[in-house]
Amino acid sequence: MNRKQKIMAAAAGIVVALGIGTAAISSQNSSPVQGNGQLEELSPLEMKKFMKEDGTGFIMYSFNKNTHDVYMHEVKKALKENDVDGRELSSNHPKYNHSKSQVYYGLTQNGDTLAVYKNGEMKQQIDFEDYEPSDLEGELSHFIETSKELYFEE
């Protein structure tokens, strides 16, 4: 190898090392709970699969058909305010098997709640019915913000 080839090889090595280092740092700072406020409704089997394979994030479990739209609207606003996405399982989904509990689908939270999970383990939940509709958005936003700090930021 002549001198020019050695210099080119050394430069290529430095570029590769910088690229790997940058990728490692940026992936270390990325939170598993990011997004733009989307609430994705999953089918019961999709939720079961998600909880088995990943199980990290904010999950809304809907039970009461009459209040579903109101709660969903408030959750979406709070998710958007905190730049995170969430997923929803509704017990009113046509493929939801009512002879099985939500635990069958990987959820341990109560109905009509928003919960935060990390690696399939529920860390905490907020019950929608504990708050007046006028206070719910603020409480949900506070719940999401503190959950992000407690479980996803180092």
pLDDT at 48 over 80: yes
Q: pTM higher than 0.75 for the full model?
A: yes
For position 143, what pLDDT does the model report? 98
Residues 57 and 130 in one domain: yes
Query: Predicted confidence band at 26 (pLDDT cuts at 50, 70, 90)?
Result: very low
What's the mean pLDDT in 39-65? 96
Query: Predicted confidence band at 33 (pLDDT cuts at 50, 70, 90)?
Result: confident
Domain span including residue 71: 39-151
What's the mean pLDDT in 100-128? 96
Other beta carbons within 10 angstroms of residue 141's beta carbon come to 17
Residues 19 and 84 in one domain: no
pLDDT at 4 over 80: no
Contacts of 13 (CB under 8 A, 6+ apart): none
pLDDT at 32 over 70: no
Mean pLDDT for the chain overall = 87
Closest CA to 147 of 25, 40, 32, 29: 32
Residues 61 and 26 in one domain: no
Q: Which two tokens stand for residue 40?
A: 């994705």
Structural domain count, the chain:
2
- Find the range with the poorest average confidence among 16-30, 44-58, 140-154: 16-30
For position 80, what pLDDT does the model report? 96
Q: Are 60 and 107 in contact (CB under 8 A)?
A: no
